Amino acid sequence: MWRGGTRKLAALGVAPNTLEPTGKQGAHQTARRSEPMSPKRVLIVGGVAGGASCAARLRRLDEQAEIVVFEKGPYPSFANCGLPYYIGDAISDEAKLLVATPELFRDRFNIEVRTEHEVLSINRRAQKIEVKDLGNGSVYQEAYDALVLSPGAVPARPPLPGIDLAGVFTLRTIPDSRAIRAWIRESQSRNAVVVGGGFIGLEMAENLARRGLEVTIVEMFDQVMPPLDREMAEYVYVHLLNNHVSVRLADAVAGFNGSEGRVTAVETRGGARIQADVVILSVGVKPESQLAKDAGLELGPHGGIRVDESMRTSDPCIWAVGDAVEVKDAITSELCLVPLAGPANRQGRIAADALCGRPARFRGVQATAVCGVFGLTVAMTGVSEKRLLQAKDADYAAVYLHPNDHAGYYPGACEMHLKLIFRRSVGRVLGAQAVGEKGVERRIDVISFAIQKGSTVFDLEEAELCYAPQFGMAKDPVNLAGMVAANVVRGDVSLGNWGELPDCGVFLLDVREEEEFGRGAIGAAVNIPLHQLRQRLRELPKDRPIWVNCARGQRSYYAVRILRQHGFDAYNLSGGYSTWEVYCPEGLPSGGVARAEQNSRDRAA
């Protein structure tokens, strides 16, 4: 609990330290003897994900509290996550984006929502906020017993030459999406540039392509989807190229060219000039913490509002939730910003509970997220390998699998690519990433929950998951990932390091069939098909490590078990040649990356 808040907590009807009701308020308290008590007048800044959840939960907990929500935009509780699909016309009725109206808040919850009312400042000493009615320009003050901040995050707009040209957009609100739709229609846009290849960038690329535009993504990192490890992002990159989206990686926008005030092209630092009738900037968001900062509330190292586990700020009468706050990473315990709807909603609920004296605690985030792009699902949870490497954390291992989403004999099975990251020493699950057409988000959700509960790879081995041929496999991909990882933790198999190939002085053994080997191999690998291995052991060296690969990592695992029991120092290359196709630094002649790039070049020619 923050220091110095005893007097204010008592004013809220909350006993310091215990977070229990003080029972000071006579008849008010008697009427709700067994119910927790919230402050009498709660003001909420921001009426969308976190703010709206907090308001509704608070009402369910306390019929008596006066709750007023201030929202500077025209709508409370709208579906910001649906905006890219509205632009792409997958959602064509704008009204569907309105999850709840001010009238619904009033009639169902007895909550007053003031839209187009911007909160300008907070006077903490007087416990008042200053509000501007954007309709008539009047400014007034409102007193609070408790204040909840859920002002969200604002899309970054880097100060580049030409950034203010018409046709250069960011996307946050319904009016933003309406303006983008109108611009595309009225200017008859044909070429779009999406700056940034993260979640919103990819969703926008798909939706602009759906409207018939030629789309180019410019991404300053050397991969799309920066939270993913690079090799996993490669599947997404290939998929974008195969869906006629051009992608410029490792190149940043230098500025925007225009004519008569309208954007015409994007120039990159790498010297490219890309024609553009419309530009979508999706280069990240910044927490809207200025209001909090001006009020002297403590901020975290990333500029977000600092809160404790019950979402309380450094002022005991003020709570904050959502994209504007910094929260603890559940795995690394570092403070971080995770601008996602799930955490914002949960935090809103927790703040309401805490306001009412309930012992609610936010467990932290693990950045579980999913994105769909041209029929491909990309999902992740927990830490990535690159973050562990940055943190110089060496006690981890990663395994790759390429299982089907459901039994191969049932029609429509699709391969997915799954990476599981875990503590090498004890097997605790740290993170997972998956890409595929079907069943991806289900597996990541299971692993996400396993991480939240501190589970190990042995728990994943044993996880009881639903199965019928059209839905999964008797050994679900989650079980398989647990088994493969558990083999490593138990010491039954050691892993070769993809990052060190192909020139690390080991003996490379490929146990695929000759025909598969002929289609492409890693470096100077020697081919001995698995079924011949026992007869040809004398061809293998005993004086140096043998790294074994097959197509997906299963036959090579069998081979490693044979070799180790015959005294060889053998290692498995997890995920096999399928992993190599995305790991290989230059892409392989027969690899998916090279194929997709060639397709893209052919189209351009």
| Catalytic residue numbers, as ranges | 81
CA–CA separation, 225 vs 234, rounded Å?
9
Shorter beta-carbon distance to ligand FAD: residue 292 or 481: 292
CA–CA separation, 550 vs 536, rounded Å?
17
What secondary structure, in 3-state letters, does 406-417 show?
Answer: CCCCCCCCCEEE
Shorter beta-carbon distance to ligand FAD: residue 77 or 268: 77
Shorter beta-carbon distance to ligand FAD: residue 82 or 270: 82
Q: How far is the CB of 291 from ligand FAD (least distance, A)?
A: 5
Shorter beta-carbon distance to ligand FAD: residue 325 or 401: 325
Q: How far is the CB of 314 from ligand FAD (least distance, A)?
A: 19
CA–CA separation, 63 vs 69, rounded Å?
16
Residues 6+ apart with CB under 8 A from 287: 153, 302, 303, 304, 305, 323, 324, 325, 326, 337, 339
Helix, strand or coil, per DSSP, at residue 100:
coil
Binding to ligand FAD (CB under 6 A): which residues in 478-497?
none
Among 11, 97, 171, 485, binds ligand FAD (CB under 6 A): 171
Among 73, 382, 427, 575, binds ligand FAD (CB under 6 A): 73
Among 12, 14, 19, 45, binds ligand FAD (CB under 6 A): 45
170 sits near ligand FAD (criterion: CB under 6 A): no
CA–CA separation, 193 vs 112, rounded Å?
41
118 sits near ligand FAD (criterion: CB under 6 A): yes
Residues 6+ apart with CB under 8 A from 278: 167, 169, 180, 183, 184, 187, 189, 191, 192, 193, 208, 213, 263
Structural contact between residues 287 and 194, judged by C-beta atoms closer than 8 angstroms: no
Binding to ligand FAD (CB under 6 A): which residues in 323-352?
323-324, 339-342, 344
Binding to ligand FAD (CB under 6 A): which residues in 198-227?
200
135 sits near ligand FAD (criterion: CB under 6 A): no
Between helices 477-490 and 440-452, what is the axis angle to 10°?
50
Q: Which residue number places its CB atom closest to ligand FAD? A: 322
Residues 6+ apart with CB under 8 A from 282: 155, 170, 171, 194, 195, 196, 198, 200, 201, 204
Shorter beta-carbon distance to ligand FAD: residue 321 or 508: 321
Token digits of residue 239? 């998929």
Helix, strand or coil, per DSSP, at residue 383:
coil
The residue range among 41-49, 230-238, 477-485, 486-494 that interacts with ligand FAD, by the rule CB under 6 A, is 41-49
Among 43, 48, 276, 457, binds ligand FAD (CB under 6 A): 48
Shorter beta-carbon distance to ligand FAD: residue 50 or 592: 50
Longest dimension (CA), the chain: 90
Among 49, 148, 253, 280, binds ligand FAD (CB under 6 A): 49
Q: How far is the CB of 342 from ligand FAD (least distance, A)?
A: 5
288 sits near ligand FAD (criterion: CB under 6 A): yes
Shorter beta-carbon distance to ligand FAD: residue 397 or 444: 444
At CA 427, angle to CA 421 and CA 431, rounded to 5?
Answer: 25
What secondary structure, in 3-state letters, does 300-363 show?
Answer: CCCCCEECCCCCECCCCCEEECHHHEEEEECCCCCEECCCCHHHHHHHHHHHHHHHCCCCCCCC
Among 21, 102, 151, 575, binds ligand FAD (CB under 6 A): 151
CA–CA separation, 302 vs 329, rounded Å?
13
The residue range among 72-80, 90-98, 354-362, 554-562 that interacts with ligand FAD, by the rule CB under 6 A, is 72-80
The pattern of x and - marking residues 80 through 99 that bind ligand FAD according to CB under 6 A reads xx-xx---------------
Q: How far is the CB of 152 from ligand FAD (least distance, A)?
A: 3
Among 280, 291, 460, 488, binds ligand FAD (CB under 6 A): 291
Structural contact between residues 313 and 287, judged by C-beta atoms closer than 8 angstroms: no
CA–CA separation, 447 vs 99, rounded Å?
30
Shorter beta-carbon distance to ligand FAD: residue 288 or 353: 288
Shorter beta-carbon distance to ligand FAD: residue 72 or 552: 72
Among 70, 105, 396, 580, binds ligand FAD (CB under 6 A): 70
The residue range among 320-328, 405-413, 480-488, 571-579 that interacts with ligand FAD, by the rule CB under 6 A, is 320-328
Residues 6+ apart with CB under 8 A from 543: none
| DSSP states of 532-583 | GGGGGGGGS-SSS-EEEE-SSSHHHHHHHHHHHHTT--EEE-TTHHHHHHHH
Total number of residues that touch ligand FAD (CB under 6 A): 32
Shorter beta-carbon distance to ligand FAD: residue 45 or 495: 45
Q: How far is the CB of 311 from ligand FAD (least distance, A)?
A: 11
Structural contact between residues 338 and 327, judged by C-beta atoms closer than 8 angstroms: yes
Other C-beta atoms lying within 10 Å of the C-beta of residue 446: 21
Token digits of residue 396? 């981890």
Q: How far is the CB of 67 from ligand FAD (least distance, A)?
A: 15
Report CA 563 to chain centroid distance, whole Å. Answer: 41
196 sits near ligand FAD (criterion: CB under 6 A): no
Q: How far is the CB of 156 from ligand FAD (least distance, A)?
A: 12
Binding region for ligand FAD (CB under 6 A): 45-46, 48-51, 70-73, 80-81, 83-84, 118-119, 150-152, 171-172, 200, 288, 291, 322-324, 339-342, 344
